[in-house]
């Protein structure tokens, strides 16, 4: 389905991004991996993608909190793969605090990575996509791009921003073969959420699994986590021909979170 296509997935050394990169590679796309972590573990994932799916997989360790570096990252990805057809803006971080206690540097960091990096990556990728008349931009937003929670001002502001940016990107490119959509996951049990489960466990004196159940019960009616693989399937769908007329919209996988 994606043979001959080149895909860049930001923040793909773990969690949702890694599952998306694996899924796109399984459909035949060459992939650029990005993010931080243990160098040996990253090389193992990269090599396994090449071996398992017979595609090219390249790792670029760019820090996407830096605007100029993010734009250069897209050019480096194009140089490494020979082009870019798919950009999945997935890299993200979380920080929780009340607004009045929220450290300025944490606000700046969350906005830089979760929102500004989406803008810079998109801006750098669009000229390539427009020139070839085909492109798919998939922004991993969040239910927090649609609704709010306490203690997450920067994250909620950034993710609402991503949903807005998704719509502008879609409108500016409508009809030219480039689509842009956002995926809005509810709770997914990745490193980003594991830290929140641990914090809740400590705060309430619960064991980890009881805290995980509590976290789900508060927001997610299914009481089950969304899996990275389910989100990867949604991203692959947005890259398929079936989704060619789908643009500027959100695909929500949240176990019912935003239904109530």
The smaller minimum CB distance to ligand NAD, of residues 24 and 140, is found at: 140
Of 53, 59, 128, 155, the catalytic one is 155
Q: Which range, of 38-46, 130-138, 184-192, 197-205, touches ligand NAD by CB under 6 A?
A: 184-192
Distance CA 243, CA 245 (A): 5
DSSP-derived letter for residue 243 is G
140 part of the interface to ligand NAD, by CB under 6 A? yes
| From 6, 22, 30, 34, residue interacting with ligand NAD (rule: CB under 6 A) | 34
190 part of the interface to ligand NAD, by CB under 6 A? yes
Q: Which range, of 21-29, 47-55, 84-92, 174-182, touches ligand NAD by CB under 6 A?
A: 84-92
Q: Which range, of 9-17, 48-56, 122-130, 243-251, touches ligand NAD by CB under 6 A?
A: 9-17
Q: Which of 70, 56, 63, 69 is nearest to 5 (CA)?
A: 56
The smaller minimum CB distance to ligand NAD, of residues 109 and 130, is found at: 109
Distance CA 142, CA 159 (A): 6
90 part of the interface to ligand NAD, by CB under 6 A? yes
79: its two tokens: 């140089």
Q: What are phi and psi of 213, to 5 degrees?
A: -65, -40
Q: Which of 137, 121, 119 is nearest to 173 (CA)?
A: 137
Per-residue burial over 57-67, b = 16 or more CB atoms within 10 Å of its CB, e = otherwise: bbbbebebbbe
Active-site residue, 155 included? yes
255 part of the interface to ligand NAD, by CB under 6 A? no
13 part of the interface to ligand NAD, by CB under 6 A? yes
Distance CA 70, CA 113 (A): 10
Residues that bind ligand NAD (CB under 6 A): 11-17, 34-37, 63-65, 90-93, 113-114, 140, 142, 185, 187-188, 190-193
């Amino acid at each position: 389905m994606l043979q001959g296509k080149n895909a860049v997935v930001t923040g793909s050394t773990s969690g949702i991004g890694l599952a998306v990169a694996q899924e796109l590679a399984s459909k035949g796309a060459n992939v650029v991996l990005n993010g931080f972590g243990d160098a040996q573990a990253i090389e193992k994932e990269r090599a396994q993608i090449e071996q398992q799916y017979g595609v090219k997989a390249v790792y670029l360790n760019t820090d996407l909190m830096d605007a100029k570096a993010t734009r250069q990252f897209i050019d480096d990805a194009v140089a490494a793969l020979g082009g870019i057809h798919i950009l999945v803006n997935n890299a993200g971080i979380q920080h929780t605090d009340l607004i009045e206690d929220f450290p300025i540097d944490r606000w700046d960091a969350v906005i830089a990575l979760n929102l500004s990096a989406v803008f810079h990556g998109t801006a750098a990728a669009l000229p390539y996509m427009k020139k070839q008349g085909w492109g798919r931009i998939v922004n991993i937003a969040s239910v927090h791009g649609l609704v709010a929670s306490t203690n997450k001002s920067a994250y909620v502001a950034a993710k609402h921003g991503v949903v807005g940016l998704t719509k502008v990107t879609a409108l500016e490119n409508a009809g030219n073969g480039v689509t842009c959509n956002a995926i809005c996951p509810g709770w997914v049990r990745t490193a980003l959420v594991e830290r929140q489960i641990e914090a809740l466990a400590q705060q309430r004196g619960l064991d980890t699994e009881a805290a995980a159940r509590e976290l789900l019960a508060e927001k997610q009616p299914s009481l089950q986590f969304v899996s990275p693989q389910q989100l990867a399937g949604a991203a692959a769908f947005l890259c398929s021909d079936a989704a060619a007329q789908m643009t500027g919209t959100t695909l929500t996988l949240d176990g019912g979170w935003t239904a109530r």
